[in-house]
Amino acid sequence: MSSHLDLTSARWRKSVRSAANEACVEVAPLDRIVAVRDSKHPDGPSLMFSGHAWSAFLSTVKEG
């Protein structure tokens, strides 16, 4: 995935179960990818995943 996407208008969200210390991961679903970043460093780098890869990751996490 391209690392040069403009994420300034991305709608970032984090789990409602995240701790008050903001040490969590935020995700932003975009057109055909999902961007992931560290909430402590919102201006830092973001990881990009295809929608398929992100869905597979979530399924694996839910299965334990």
C-alpha–C-alpha distance, residues 40 and 17, integer Å: 16
* C-beta of residue 51 within 8 angstroms of C-beta of residue 32: yes
Please give the pLDDT value at position 1: 46
Supply the pLDDT for residue 26. Answer: 93
Contact 49, 1 (CB under 8 A): yes
1-55 confidence digits (pLDDT tens): 445 678 888 999 988 777 666 678 999 999 889 999 998 888 889 999 999 999 9
pLDDT at 4: 67
Tokens of 33: 């990818």
